[in-house]
């Protein structure tokens, strides 16, 4: 009998001015690993961001929280030429190069490597990983996918990968194994039914401090600054009971107590997903904690939903509010208005949350946005006792706001994804000068009145 083909999955380093592990795990890449494994392939995982091997952690300088966040190890590096002008240090976040090479040698030689990518402006990490893999594994096909490959496919063709695969990897699975191994799939999900997709192979990470959940793909809204619809044109959800089964399975088999929610639209239409799911979690009395680093929708918050979120253990709440300016709320997609925020804070507090537990994302640096607008939004959030967080705008190719982003930015957004980096505030013009931005950032840290 033929030995099963070995497939290696790689999460690259992050090259950036700042990066923090805010419940970050390679959910998409490990979903593909699960699909390969279900089809009889043997799979391995190499994480450039973190060493998951407990026996090999002596080099680590950074600590992690017990709920699954923490700093990455990092090394200061020379800025790439397009960012040389920017007065901040630039880092490679993740494990040392030497450890990467050692780990690569310690696993069975792969027959194929799949590299993922997340932010468009993190591509140097993917390029570096591909370069090193190519040098160590001559002749082995290296494939690149993920958000960068989906949003900047032409640029990604310079990565050195043999092929790039934009969009959900599941859609390409048959083609990949046919092209490279002349194989045919034994098991394929029904692409229109998320309940048939395999669960991400997080077991490959070893000890699990937290597990991210994806109960849906896409979003029914169409906000002008957001990539959700390009990445997942159709809004699809899982059955709440399948999600509950997944949660309790991670808990029962791996002792996981902390979960993060990666959905773009977790709370949309609560009776069809959130309410039955929360109800099942409450019934189990399993003492779990849930964290929502990716913003939740405010307009769905009702007294009932607030109580259920509280009782089910939703501890880290972040909502996408973006601005208190009604005109901008309307022109960017109309997902929320000020009354939604006022009502949500009231209901959540009545349910048991402290107002300061309620994190509210505010977009900062949109084309034409003024410091006064952002200041007003911060004050509005603080006047309710909630906690504002600035989300610096990263322009994304293909979004409705992209043409305006190109016009407003002094940088070459079109040809150089490094310039999408939100730290640059690439589309903030004279209406948001750097000192004003720094002052606003400080204001978000002041205690609410």
- Enumerate binding residues for ligand B12 (CB under 6 A): 19-20, 22, 24-25, 27-29, 31-32, 114-116, 118-121, 143-147, 150, 165, 168-170, 172, 214, 226-228, 231, 262, 264, 293-294, 391-392, 394, 396, 420, 422
Binder to ligand SF4 among 223, 274, 374, 396 (CB under 6 A)? 223
Q: How far is the CB of 363 from ligand SF4 (least distance, A)?
A: 9
Q: Which residues of 238-267 are buried (b: 16+ CB within 10 A; e: fewer)?
A: bbbeebbebbbebbeeeebbbbbbbbbbbb
Q: How far is the CB of 276 from ligand SF4 (least distance, A)?
A: 22
Contact flag: residue 15 with ligand SF4 (CB under 6 A): no
Residue among 222 and 311 whose Cβ is closer to ligand SF4: 222
392 binds, options ligand B12, ligand SF4, none, Cβ within 5 to 8 A by partner type: ligand B12
Residue among 47 and 264 whose Cβ is closer to ligand SF4: 264
231 binds, options ligand SF4, ligand B12, none, Cβ within 5 to 8 A by partner type: ligand B12
335 binds, options ligand SF4, ligand B12, none, Cβ within 5 to 8 A by partner type: ligand SF4
Query: Which residues, 6 or more positions from 153, have their beta carbon under 8 angstroms from its beta carbon?
Result: 164, 166
Q: How far is the CB of 291 from ligand SF4 (least distance, A)?
A: 17
333 binds, options ligand B12, ligand SF4, none, Cβ within 5 to 8 A by partner type: ligand SF4
Query: Which residues, 6 or more positions from 384, have their beta carbon under 8 angstroms from its beta carbon?
Result: 341, 342, 345, 355, 448
Contact flag: residue 219 with ligand SF4 (CB under 6 A): yes
Q: How far is the CB of 448 from ligand B12 (least distance, A)?
A: 21
Quote the tokens at residue 118. Answer: 């997340």
Binder to ligand SF4 among 120, 228, 399, 444 (CB under 6 A)? 228
Q: How far is the CB of 358 from ligand SF4 (least distance, A)?
A: 17
Contact between residue 114 and residue 29 where contact means Cβ atoms under 8 Å apart: yes
Binder to ligand SF4 among 12, 94, 124, 320 (CB under 6 A)? 320
How many residues belong to the site for ligand SF4 (CB under 6 A)?
11
CA distances to 71, 232, 338 from 160, rounded to whole Å, are 29, 26, 47
Residue among 268 and 440 whose Cβ is closer to ligand SF4: 268
Residue among 218 and 347 whose Cβ is closer to ligand B12: 218
Q: How far is the CB of 295 from ligand SF4 (least distance, A)?
A: 6
Q: How far is the CB of 111 from ligand SF4 (least distance, A)?
A: 37
Q: How far is the CB of 400 from ligand SF4 (least distance, A)?
A: 10
Q: How far is the CB of 329 from ligand B12 (least distance, A)?
A: 16
Query: Which residues, 6 or more positions from 309, have their beta carbon under 8 angstroms from its beta carbon?
Result: 278, 317, 348, 351
Site for ligand SF4 in 251-310 (CB under 6 A): 264-265
Q: Which residues of 199-231 are buried (b: 16+ CB within 10 A; e: fewer)?
A: bbbbbbbeebbbbbbbbbbbbebebebbbbbbb
* CA 221 – CA 204 distance, rounded (Å): 34
Contact flag: residue 397 with ligand SF4 (CB under 6 A): no
422 binds, options ligand B12, ligand SF4, none, Cβ within 5 to 8 A by partner type: ligand B12
- Residue of 157, 154, 53, 140 whose CA lies nearest to 95: 53
306 binds, options ligand B12, ligand SF4, none, Cβ within 5 to 8 A by partner type: none
172 binds, options ligand SF4, ligand B12, none, Cβ within 5 to 8 A by partner type: ligand B12
Residue among 257 and 318 whose Cβ is closer to ligand B12: 318
User: Which residue's Cβ lies closest to ligand B12?
Assistant: 28
Residue among 173 and 232 whose Cβ is closer to ligand SF4: 232
Contact flag: residue 359 with ligand SF4 (CB under 6 A): no
Contact flag: residue 363 with ligand SF4 (CB under 6 A): no
Return residues touching ligand SF4 (CB under 6 A): 219, 221-223, 226, 228, 264-265, 320, 333, 335
């Amino acid at each position: 009998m033929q030995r099963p083909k070995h497939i290696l999955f790689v999460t690259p380093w992050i090259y950036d001015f700042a990066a923090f592990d805010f419940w970050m795990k390679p959910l998409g890449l490990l979903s593909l690993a699960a699909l390969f494994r279900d089809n009889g392939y043997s799979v391995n995982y190499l994480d450039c961001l973190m060493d998951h091997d407990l026996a090999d952690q002596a080099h680590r300088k950074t600590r992690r929280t017990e709920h699954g966040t923490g700093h990455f190890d990092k090394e200061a590096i020379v800025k790439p030429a397009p960012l040389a002008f920017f007065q901040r240090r630039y880092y490679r976040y993740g494990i040392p190069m030497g450890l990467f090479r050692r780990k690569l040698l310690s696993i069975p030689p792969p027959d194929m490597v799949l590299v993922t990518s997340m932010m468009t402006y993190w591509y140097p990490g993917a390029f570096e990983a591909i370069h090193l893999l190519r040098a160590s594994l001559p002749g082995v096909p290296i494939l690149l996918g993920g958000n960068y490959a989906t949003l900047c496919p032409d640029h990604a063709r310079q990565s050195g990968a043999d092929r790039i695969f934009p969009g959900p990897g599941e859609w390409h699975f048959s083609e990949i194994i046919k092209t490279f191994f002349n194989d045919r799939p034994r098991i394929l999900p029904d692409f229109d039914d998320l309940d048939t997709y395999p669960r991400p192979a997080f077991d490959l990470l070893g000890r699990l401090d937290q597990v991210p959940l994806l109960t849906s793909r896409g979003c029914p809204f169409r906000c002008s600054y957001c990539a959700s619809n390009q990445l997942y044109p159709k809004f699809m959800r899982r059955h709440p009971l399948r999600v509950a089964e997944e949660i309790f399975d991670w808990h029962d088999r791996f002792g996981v107590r902390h979960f993060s929610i990666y959905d773009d639209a977790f709370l949309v239409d609560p009776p069809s997903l959130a309410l039955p799911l929360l109800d099942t979690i409450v019934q189990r009395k399993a003492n779990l904690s849930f964290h929502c680093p990716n913003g939740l929708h405010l307009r769905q918050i009702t007294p009932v939903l607030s109580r259920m979120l509280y009782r089910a253990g939703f501890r880290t709440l972040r909502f996408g509010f973006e601005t208190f300016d009604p005109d901008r709320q309307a022109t960017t997609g109309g997902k929320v208005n000020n009354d939604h925020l006022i009502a949500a804070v009231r209901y959540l507090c009545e349910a048991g949350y402290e107002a300061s537990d309620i994190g509210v994302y505010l977009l900062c640096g949109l084309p034409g946005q003024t410091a006064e607008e952002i200041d007003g939004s911060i004050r509005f959030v603080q006047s309710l006792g909630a906690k504002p967080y600035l989300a610096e705008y990263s322009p994304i190719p293909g979004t409705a706001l992209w043409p305006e982003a190109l016009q407003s930015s002094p940088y070459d957004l079109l040809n150089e994804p490094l310039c999408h980096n939100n730290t640059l505030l690439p589309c903030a013009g004279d209406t948001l000068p750097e000192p004003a931005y720094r002052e606003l950032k400080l204001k978000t840290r002041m205690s609410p009145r």
